[in-house]
Amino acid sequence: METKIGVVDDYFAKVGVVAMVLEGDLTTADTIHIKGHTTDLTQVVGSMQIQHLKVESAKKKDSVGIKVSDRVRKGDIVYKVTP
């Protein structure tokens, strides 16, 4: 099952980081699925930051940066995958 938790606001290619505002809670052990016109990436959240400080969890409306393993695009939808 997948629940929408946000939309990619920006992608920083040099460091491979997605910037977004959360629409739900997220922790570093969670699995996310980023889906867009040409994007289809599923991965476990390994690194997450709020204002350049590493965090283990974030809440709804937090602005976060999440390290991703592949290129994504602004406007892609981010889902939290639950078993």
Domain boundaries, the chain: 2-81
Separation in Å, CA 60 to CA 39, 57, 67, 70, 82: 24, 10, 18, 24, 17
Q: Are 81 and 31 in contact (CB under 8 A)?
A: yes
Band (pLDDT 50/70/90 cuts) for residue 19 is very high
Q: Which amino acid is at 69?
A: S
Band (pLDDT 50/70/90 cuts) for residue 83 is confident
Q: Which amino acid is at 9?
A: D
Assign domain 2-81 to its CATH superfamily: Translation factors (2.40.30.10)
